[in-house]
Amino acid sequence: MKLFSRSFADGGVVPGRCAFAVKAPVGHLALSQNLNPELHWSGVPEGTASLVLLGSVLSLIQRDTWFSNYHTDYGGPKVVSLSDGSILTLDTNTAVDVDITAEHRRITLRRGQIHAVVAHDPARPFEVNADGGKIRALGTAFNVRRDGDGVDVAVTEHVVRVSLPGLPQATEVYEGQHLRYGAGALGVPAKVDLRTVTAWQRGYLVFDGAPLSDVLMQVAHYHRGYTLVRDESIESLKLTGVFRTADT
């Protein structure tokens, strides 16, 4: 059995309601409505256990929110105009740090997804740091998404350069391409449908033959509940469709 809840894994929220449904064989997929798992503590006084649990949950909920410069809750994108003239669009449940000085422009994506439209300023490189990787804009607009096992970078205008610590060579990703990295490995640029990549900015998620596991991972970003897959063999099922993020 597998639990899909990207929001919790990225430092998100406590269990809530789930409004997403996928057709699957009966008994294979369970959608929580108010998931209240039974916790069994051994050798710990009841009051202490409650405090430990409460502290852990609060830490997960607030970790990224408290220390980020900008963040969004559930409910839709947020547009932020930066002091250098660049524009960031934050997806729902997203947190970023912004560090702009006379020498550099650095964005740290703590969780979630952003689209950046970068103001031209050759003297101050514009970089996004996400999960150990560095994305440098070369006069561009691009999308960065963090999920459970890596980061996806898609270029909507011009080109970016992606690098990972420990790897000697960076990779350039051009307009209409995307690249995925994670676990110390840098993927290969490949063609991507930019309308699909940026659909979240218009309030939609678009899938074309995507594995069910990928769909559930993305959908988990938009609601507070959990989706339980009891039979992992159905995770490879392909799904095609257009979903309103407000309905997930």
Q: Residue 169: how many CB atoms within 10 A of its CB?
A: 7
Q: Please spell the DSSP secondary structure of 12-30, one letter per residue.
A: --------------TTTEE
Write out pLDDT tens, residues 80-98. 999 999 999 999 999 999 9
CA angle 183, 185, 190 (to 5 degrees): 125
- With 80 as the cut, is the pLDDT of residue 190 above it? yes
- Give the pLDDT band of residue 228 (cuts 50, 70, 90): confident
- Give the pLDDT band of residue 216 (cuts 50, 70, 90): confident
CA angle 21, 111, 8 (to 5 degrees): 50
Asked whether the beta carbons of 90 and 71 are under 8 A apart, the reply is yes
Write out pLDDT tens, residues 13-23. 333 333 333 44
**DSSP assignment, residue 96?**
E
Tell me the H-state helices in 10-105: 46-67
Lowest mean pLDDT among 107-121, 138-152, 179-193, 234-248: 234-248
- With 70 as the cut, is the pLDDT of residue 9 above it? no
Q: How far apart are CA 136 and CA 125, in angstroms?
A: 7
Residues facing residue 71 across a β-bridge: 95
3-state secondary structure of 69: coil
- Give the pLDDT band of residue 248 (cuts 50, 70, 90): low
Distance of CA 216 to the CA centre of its chain: 12
Say which residue, 142 or 3, is predicted with more confidence. Answer: 142
Tell me the H-state helices in the chain: 6-9, 46-67, 194-197, 212-219
Write out pLDDT tens, residues 46-85. 444 444 444 554 455 456 666 788 999 887 799 999 999 9
- Give the pLDDT band of residue 213 (cuts 50, 70, 90): confident
The predicted structure's pLDDT at residue 4: 53
Q: How far apart are CA 83 and CA 105, in angstroms?
A: 10
Q: What is the mean pLDDT of the chain?
A: 79
The predicted structure's pLDDT at residue 66: 63
